[in-house]
Amino acid sequence: MSRQPVFLSDGVVAGLLRYEELIPRLEEALGKFSLRRSSELLQPVRSVMPLQNHSGFLGLMPSYMPNEGILCTKMLTFYRREAGSSLPSTQASVLLFDPEYGNVTAVMDGLDITHKRTAAVSAISAKLLKPAQLDILCILGSGHQALSHYEVFTLLFSFKEVRVWSRRMESATRFAASVKGPVTVCSSVKEAVNGADVIITVTSSSEPVLFGNWVKPGAHVAAVGACRPNWRELDDDLMRDAVIYVDSREGADTESGDIILSGAKVFAEIGEVINGTAPAFCEKTTVFKSLGMGIQDAVSAKLVFDKWKSQQ
Ligand SMILES: NC(=O)C1=CN([C@@H]2O[C@H](COP(=O)(O)OP(=O)(O)OC[C@H]3O[C@@H](n4cnc5c(N)ncnc54)[C@H](O)[C@@H]3O)[C@@H](O)[C@H]2O)C=CC1
Ligand SMILES: O=C(O)C1=NCCCC1
């Protein structure tokens, strides 16, 4: 069992990972996670080491799904970057092990996995908590996650209008020009979210950018940024008035400033909605607070590795 691990570059991973195959695997994993059967799935809360010099952190995200033959960890760094930096703010590597023997079988670049699995889980939340009307999609932020969220949301849903807002107008304009379909560039958050049915927050902000009194009652918000206990994207009004769903209760209670600082109560994990053990309040304003989980990376990496092996 002393074979060297294979290395799969970002280009190879991106070529193999397809939303159509990824989404059902993520749904299954989210449902399993919420059952809390430790014989089937283990995933501790992300271990985080702050990197003060960079307003960032290094995170370790292990997970184990013995029945799936998955033992995996993602290692990531998040650095708060100035606009125009050539490096992405989140960088990641994923290690897959042979669960039988403990040797590393594959090391893969984790960028595309992080972009796609995060966006796919937000799209799953919108599918489960679908508002009655689905005409307007609004994306706040114009970076990597904005792009992957645009891709999967326009793949799964048919919006009449897609809007984008970014702190710097030229970034929003560049984003709109880079995607296939029409995108309205908005000059303020208030204008962007006005009447929107689905709002995605994908900013690196540590202060609220989205305020509850701007949000249409019954809208669904997928809140993806603000992944540290003292960072916010959403204000107290929105956190108090919406029904709050999360990927992991333990993760949310440990890492989400929006939840910890607002004192908002988590209603359910989206895995519980998938399992039918918690209701989907589609008619109410809902927030899905995403922090990201190791199992999401693990099932993505396993999918990529199996496809790569089948082509050798
Ligand atoms: N929940 C999850 O599973 C994951 C969450 N993330 C988080 O998603 C967010 C976006 O990630 P990426 O798109 O990869 O980053 P990025 O660096 O590519 O884009 C960040 C965006 O945030 C904007 N921004 C930065 N500071 C801001 C501020 N103070 N106010 C408003 N906008 C601001 C930037 O202009 C840019 O549009 C980050 O907070 C990241 O930590 C990233 C990966 C997974
Ligand atoms: O789950 C992830 O991957 C990340 N979550 C929070 C921000 C950095 C990446």
- Whether residue 282 sits in one domain with residue 195: yes
Tell whether 78 and 189 lie within a shared domain: no
Residue 246 lies in a domain: yes
Question: Does 128 have pLDDT greater than 70?
Answer: yes
Look at residue 105 and tell me if it is in a domain. yes
Ligand 2 atom 2, closest CA? 292
State the chain's mean pLDDT as an integer: 97
Q: 3 alpha carbon to ligand 2 midpoint, in Å?
A: 30
Q: Give the number of the atom of ligand 2 that is nearest the alpha carbon of residue 114.
A: 3
Both 123 and 245 in a single domain?
yes
Looking up residue 161, the CATH number of its domain turns out to be 3.40.50.720
Query: pLDDT for 176-193, tens place per residue?
Result: 999 999 999 999 999 999
CATH number at 46 reads 3.30.1780.10
- Residue 254 maps to a domain: yes
The ipTM (two decimal places) reads 0.99
| Mean pLDDT of the 289-304 span | 98
- Does a structural domain hold residue 1? no
Residue range of the domain that includes 221? 114-293
Claim to verify: residue 134 and residue 208 sit in the same structural domain: yes
129 and 276: one domain?
A: yes
Please report which confidence band the pLDDT of residue 85 belongs to, taking 50, 70 and 90 as the band edges: confident
Closest ligand to C-alpha of residue 93 is 2
Q: Tens digits of per-residue pLDDT, 200-233?
A: 999 999 999 999 999 999 999 999 999 999 999 9
Percent of residues, the chain, with pLDDT higher than 90? 96
In angstroms, rounded to a whole number, what is the distance separating the alpha carbons of residues 197 and 177? Answer: 23
